[in-house]
Amino acid sequence: ILAKLCCGFNKPKKQTIFTQSDIDHVFDKTPVQKIQGLGGKAGERVMELFQVEYIGQLRKYSLDALQTSMGEKDGYWLFNLTRGIETTAVNSRNLYKTISASKNFPGKTCLDTIDKIRIWCHNLAEEIFNRLEKDRAE
Which whole number is the average pLDDT over 13-30? 81
pLDDT in tens, 22-73: 888 889 999 999 888 898 899 999 999 999 999 999 999 999 999 999 999 9
Strands (E), the chain: none
**Residue 15 pLDDT greater than 80, yes or no:** no
* Number of Cβ atoms within 10 Å of the Cβ of 74: 16
**Domains of the chain, with CATH numbers?**
2-81 (1.10.150.20), 94-138 (no CATH)
pLDDT in tens, 103-123: 888 888 888 899 999 999 999
